[in-house]
Amino acid sequence: MDNDDNNTLRSDRTGKMSVGRRRFIGAAGAGAVATTLAGCIGSGDDEGVTIGHLAPLENTQGIGSERSAELAAEEINEDGGIRDEDIEVVSANTRSDPSTAQDEASRLINQENVDLLVGTFSSEVSLNIMDMIAENDVPYIVTGSASPAIIENSTGSDYEANKNIFRSGPINSYFQAEAMGGYADYLSDHHGWNSFAYLADDAAWTDPFTNNLPGELESRGYDVVYESELSTGIDDFSTVMDDLESEEPDAVFRFFAHIIATDMLASWHQRQAEFGIEGIHVASMTPDFYELSEGAATFETTSQSGAAGTTDITEKTLDFVDAYQSFTEDDGDAPDLPMYMGFNTYDAIYLYREAVEEAGTADYESDLDAIVDAMLGLEYTGTAGEISFYGEGDDYPHDVQEERGENDEITNFPITQWRPEDGLECVYPEQYRTADHIQPEWMG
């Protein structure tokens, strides 16, 4: 059920707890002692609500996320704030360094007295700071990292100690691997592509792809002719391209967040290699990547939350993109689009507002359970899709749930394709498709 007025909670869901059922019992032990030093936070003492944003701000993903957080704060303040208090975003640059992220998260909690943390891009960074954030009890919504280990190592391993941790998007990479199977079916139906190669960053977020995607494809009747994980420092793709051409896949499913594979794309065009390049390429989500790659991005695809604003995934998607572009029109540092992390961060702040309004408090020190219960009761219509969280008894407690269509295919995993002449279209899933996928013009 959609929440057209953003004010809908579930109370009848299996595995979910209704608001007010649980009571905060001060179970945090040493963590509770630590948080008493953080001051009176979000408790109606006219200090406002402070949101800490964590991201690599030398990275366009991080900047797009930061601006999206600031936009959400401005809009919410114009609409009366959170529980009649204005909100403020305090941003911290994590770089791509887990140690820096640890220091910055600690500063936001203990010096800035934040009521909520959002963000973190790389899974390695998120994994490194979870224990410290859990000890301090401050609600933390991960909006950029996709490794299922973020949940498995926190709420999945010790729920009571980590129940302040949520992940609002994208769907974790375990479900992303399954979703790629549905996308392979589409490519097979549309082009007759039935053999695939697999490439990935050697990084935490790709482990579920490495462990599951080849089997997922084979279970659907496809051949997996090549598998490899690449060093994130790779700068010469000649051997990789030679190997791929010798194995003759119809398409390469590659998953690059750390690798900026412009040279691989250029080689693909120059060789007119007889395969498509599909999957996830975070660099390709940059709005001006087509121009930066001098057209080498043409025909490649990537999945990204919000489908880069190419289509109205929900009634809020395109309004958000318009608002973001107006908000940043004089900002030379901001990307032209919020990018996937911006969609997720913007949604996270709005859903937090709905949760604390329902809980009647933003004071996590006094009543974390009320906030957690309200979060678990949400069915929130965001800009990137419908957001609800898995409950305590599920495999991924507090992780965003995948959406499924009539054939049980995962649908909140939109895929976009760069087209000739700098166009970008959503090609999957069907209900969001703005154009059919096209194969490289030299194929067939």
177 and 298 part of one domain: yes
286 and 328 belong to one structural domain: no
Amino acid at 62: G
Determine, yes or no, domain membership for 149: yes
pLDDT at position 265 is 97
Q: Residue 221: inside a domain, yes or no?
A: yes
The range of the structural domain enclosing residue 178 comes to 173-304+406-432
Q: What is the pLDDT of residues 19-30, one digit of tens each?
A: 222 222 222 222
Share of the chain above pLDDT 70, in %: 90
Is the domain of 271 the same as that of 183?
A: yes
Is it the case that residue 10 has pLDDT exceeding 60?
no
pLDDT tens, position by position, 234-289: 989 999 999 999 999 999 999 999 999 999 999 999 999 999 999 999 999 999 99
pTM to 2 decimal places: 0.88
Q: Are 75 and 207 in the same domain? A: no
Are 119 and 136 found together in one domain? yes
Q: Indicate whether 83 pLDDT > 70.
A: yes
Region 400-427: mean pLDDT is 94
Q: Show contacts of 388-392: CB within 8 Å, 24+ apart.
A: 388/10, 389/166, 390/15, 391/13, 391/14, 391/15, 391/16, 391/17, 392/15, 392/17, 392/155, 392/159, 392/163
Residue 96: what pLDDT?
A: 85
pLDDT of residue 422: 81
Q: How confident is the model at residue 353 (pLDDT cuts 50, 70, 90)?
A: very high
* Tens-place pLDDT, residues 58-73: 999 999 999 999 999 9
Q: Do 72 and 93 reside in the same domain of the chain?
A: yes
Q: How confident is the model at residue 1 (pLDDT cuts 50, 70, 90)?
A: very low
Which tens digit of pLDDT belongs to each residue from 316-338?
Answer: 999 999 999 999 999 999 999 99
In a shared domain, residues 130 and 231: no
Residue 96, in any domain of the structure: yes
β-pairing, 415-419 vs 301-303, is antiparallel
Work out how many domains the chain is built from and give that number: 2
Residue 31 belongs to some domain of the structure: no
Q: Looking at the predicted structure, is the pLDDT value of residue 34 above 90?
A: no
Reference 97, options 73, 119, 128, 69; nearest CA is 128
Mean pLDDT value across residues 125-130: 96
* pLDDT for residue 421: 86
Residue found by looking up tokens 């408790």 in the block: 43
d(CA 276, CA 265): 11
pLDDT-derived band at 219, boundaries 50, 70, 90 = very high
Whether residue 292 lies inside any domain: the answer is yes
Predicted pLDDT at 9: 40
- pLDDT recorded at residue 444: 73
Q: Is the pLDDT of residue 170 over 60?
A: yes
Looking at the structure, do residues 60 and 130 belong to the same domain, yes or no?
yes
* Same-domain pairing of 421 and 272: yes
Q: CA–CA separation, 182 vs 177, rounded Å?
A: 9
| 53 plus 78 within the same structural domain | yes
Whether residue 159 sits in one domain with residue 274? no
Phi-psi region at 83: left, alpha or beta (left = phi > 0; alpha = psi -120 to 50): left
Residue 15 in any domain: the answer is: no
CB 71 within 8 A of CB 327: yes
| Cα–Cα distance for residue pair 294/288, rounded to 1 Å | 10
Is 30 a domain residue?
Answer: no
**Do 132 and 188 sit in the same domain of this protein?**
no
**Domain CATH for 348:** 3.40.50.2300
Report whether pLDDT(36) > 60. no
Per the CB < 8 A criterion, the answer to whether 198 and 228 are in contact is: yes
